[in-house]
Chains A and B, each alone.
Chain A
Amino acid sequence: AQKITQTQPGMFVQEKEAVTLDCTYDTSDQSYGLFWYKQPSSGEMIFLIYQGSYDEQNATEGRYSLNFQKARKSANLVISASQLGDSAMYFCAMSGAAGNEKLTFGTGTRLTIIP
């Protein structure tokens, strides 16, 4: 079974600062994928970034980067130069690598950007 743990229920960050959202995971699978999603109050789940378990380099997408430490089973999301529009719920999730399997979510972190 796969398990995702997000230990920060809420975070407040000053605008333009960088923020790190924590995520640890547990799985017995050798091949898996890790994801971060953003969910604004409107409800849609917005895909941010993906890291495959065999990827040697940390994933980056614009202002988002994923700090992947496989031995520690952590996959933290780093948002650089935060903006007011970054205020939302953020979910870490994982699945198998096949792409047609259950996506397991953590409990989420509510990020609030302060002007």
Chain B
Amino acid sequence: DTEVTQTPKHLVMGMTNKKSLKCEQHMGHRAMYWYKQKAKKPPELMFVYSYEKLSINESVPSRFSPECPNSSLLNLHLHALQPEDSALYLCASSQEGLGLAVGGYTFGSGTRLTVV
């Protein structure tokens, strides 16, 4: 299994809603990431988990709350979002060291989020 699976593929939520994005990989990768991508822009890093611990938070607002329940799962909990948070949210995983040459950082197909 060489995939990163993200669900849901599309999500529309109101500004008062609570929702969660899910990401799963079974490649044994020990680092997992959340990226946010606005239209016509490159992806921007939000969070990095390494060995199930949060290692990088790129000063993301607290309305985004990441969670890593185990080495295969990564969640992003959303609460009280703003319309400007509408974007493509990409999950990725990576294998450290020499593994980078084989598959790089492996990305999921993303969740297209619309906040209304």
Q: Point out the residue from B96, B103, B109 that lies within 8 Å of A47, measured CB to CB.
A: B103
Q: Point out the residue from A33, A47, A100, A107 that lies within 8 Å of B55, measured CB to CB.
A: A100
Across the interface, name the chain A residue whose C-beta is closest to B108.
A44
A94 CA / B100 CA spacing, docked (Å):
11
- Asked if A42 and B109 make an inter-chain contact with CB atoms under 8 angstroms apart, the answer reads yes
CB under 8 Å from chain A, chain B span 5-47 = 30-31, 33, 41-43, 45
Across the interface, name the chain B residue whose C-beta is closest to A36.
B104
- Asked if A106 and B42 make an inter-chain contact with CB atoms under 8 angstroms apart, the answer reads yes
Q: Point out the residue from B48, B108, B109 that lies within 8 Å of A100, measured CB to CB.
A: B48
Assuming A43-B88, A103-B45, is B100 touching A52 (CB within 8 A)? yes
Across the interface, name the chain A residue whose C-beta is closest to B94.
A99
Q: Which residues of B contact A44 (CB under 8 A)?
A: 107-110
Is B69 interfacial (CB 8 A cutoff)? no
- Asked if A43 and B112 make an inter-chain contact with CB atoms under 8 angstroms apart, the answer reads yes
Q: Point out the residue from A43, A52, A103, A104 that lies within 8 Å of B92, measured CB to CB.
A: A103
What are 22 of the A-B contact pairs (CB < 8 Å)?
A33-B100, A37-B104, A37-B107, A43-B112, A44-B109, A44-B110, A45-B43, A45-B92, A47-B104, A50-B100, A52-B101, A99-B95, A99-B96, A99-B99, A99-B100, A100-B31, A102-B45, A102-B56, A103-B33, A103-B92, A107-B42, A108-B42
